[in-house]
Amino acid sequence: MTSLLSERESDILSATIRDYIQTAQPVASRRVRDRYDLHVSAATIRNTMAELERLGYLTHPHTSSGKVPTDKGYRTYVDDLMIVAGLHTEIVARITQNLEQLTGDIDKLLRILAHIISRLSGGVGITIAPVNLKARLSSVRLVPVSHHRLLFVLELHSGSVQTVVAEWKLSVKETQLVLLEEILNERLSDLTLEEIQATIGQRLEGTLADELGITALILDHSADLLMDRGQGDLYLFGLQQVLKSPEFGDQTNIATLLSLVENEDMLRAVICRDNLDPELTVMIGHEHGEEQLERFATISCGYFYGDSIGTMAVLAPKRVNYPHVFAVLEFIRKSISEIG
């Protein structure tokens, strides 16, 4: 995403968000003038903040209060404005020491890492154990569930089975489903899930499966279909720490957070959706598509451990220190790949 804001608007938006992240208090134009060296008058800052509110980057909780970021404002900050610096030496040493002590004990390692991520981020630290990227496909079955819903069943050589129900706008005959199964089995059987993820487009190109949108359906549901979920235990730490945040003086917010961390399926669905890619993924507020997550941000990434890939993440109020969390997760991701 490339910001459409002017340099002045970008500077004032960045200053407002950084201040709100630190204080959890609505930000007034006078505070931006006094604390940040922007070389513009208070009136200019006030007018610019009003324009940023009109454009949807800022809002205000009360008529006479200062400004707070919207989801759009946070998204622009994360994509275009924030600067990610390296971690302090003592933090690097602390993480490295824990990794060296726990080499070979992946379960204990992931428990400790969830603890470290939470302490360093101020959010709930989440780690998911690595799963095998080299699992091979044995066979594919397609089962019509209803007029526009199709069940994919992938059987692996390991004996595990991956399933997902997908919405499908087309209506096909039984004979076409048989033919689709034949194409999928002929083109994909005995490949690893990793190979299927990377090459399914070219392997099915020009076939009936491609024409009827099966390729796109598989890719849309790759997080459920193309990962062997057999060993992916989830660990989390830091709930009590997050509950001390200013956002959780409200009992409703507390109840929402408690129900959220108890919903492991939802957490997995949110933070594992892109974990075949080790790049950091950020979801902010309404971007999650889940009402329970509208007050939160999730920052996640995949990590490699030998031939397997796992996920680590932070679940926190939207007012999380994004640059610092990016630096923490990126350092841990690289460190784990070196010892796996």
Q: Are residues 19 and 160 in the same domain?
A: no
CATH number at residue 306: 3.30.450.40
**Within a domain: residue 329?**
yes
**Within a domain: residue 2?**
no
pTM of the model: 0.75
pLDDT, residue 322, reads 97
Last residue of a domain, one of 199, 225, 251: 225
**Within a domain: residue 334?**
yes
State yes or no: pLDDT of 237 exceeds 90: yes
Q: Are residues 329 and 266 in the same domain?
A: yes
Strand order in the sheet with 149-156: 137-146, 149-156, 161-167
Distance in angstroms (rounded) separating the CA atoms of residues 331 and 328:
5
Q: Are residues 18 and 35 in the same domain?
A: yes
Q: Are residues 124 and 237 in the same domain?
A: yes
Best CA proximity match to 78, nearest among 282, 294, 278:
282
Strand partners, 302: 311
Last residue of a domain, one of 197, 225, 253: 225
Q: Are residues 318 and 189 in the same domain?
A: no
Q: Are residues 121 and 261 in the same domain?
A: yes
What count of residues does the chain have?
340
Average pLDDT over residues 107-132: 90
pLDDT tens digits for range 241-283: 888 888 887 777 788 888 888 888 888 888 875 555 567 999 9
Q: At what angle do helices 7-23 and 42-54 cross, to 10 degrees?
A: 90
Helices (H), the chain: 7-23, 29-35, 42-54, 71-76, 89-101, 106-121, 174-188, 193-204, 208-211, 214-220, 222-225, 239-243, 251-262, 264-271, 322-339
CATH number at residue 151: 3.30.390.60
pLDDT, residue 258, reads 86
CATH number at residue 20: 1.10.10.10
Domain assignment of residue 118, given as a range? 89-132+233-339
pLDDT, residue 56, reads 97
Best CA proximity match to 320, nearest among 128, 80, 126, 124:
124
Q: Are residues 55 and 175 in the same domain?
A: no
State yes or no: pLDDT of 221 exceeds 90: no
Strand partners, 67: 27
Distance in angstroms (rounded) separating the CA atoms of residues 286 and 23:
23
Last residue of a domain, one of 81, 115, 147: 81
**Within a domain: residue 157?**
yes
State yes or no: pLDDT of 292 exceeds 90: no
State yes or no: pLDDT of 315 exceeds 90: yes
Distance in angstroms (rounded) separating the CA atoms of residues 328 and 313:
10
Q: Are residues 123 and 268 in the same domain?
A: yes
**Within a domain: residue 266?**
yes
Q: Are residues 278 and 315 in the same domain?
A: yes
Q: Are residues 240 and 119 in the same domain?
A: yes
DSSP per residue, 47-96: HHHHHHHHTTSEE-SSTTS-BEE-HHHHHHIIIII---PPPPHHHHHHHH
Amino acid in the structure at residue 219:
L
Q: Are residues 335 and 203 in the same domain?
A: no
Number of domains in the chain: 3
Q: Are residues 245 and 332 in the same domain?
A: yes
Report the percent of the chain where pLDDT is more than 70.
Answer: 93
Average pLDDT over residues 150-173: 85
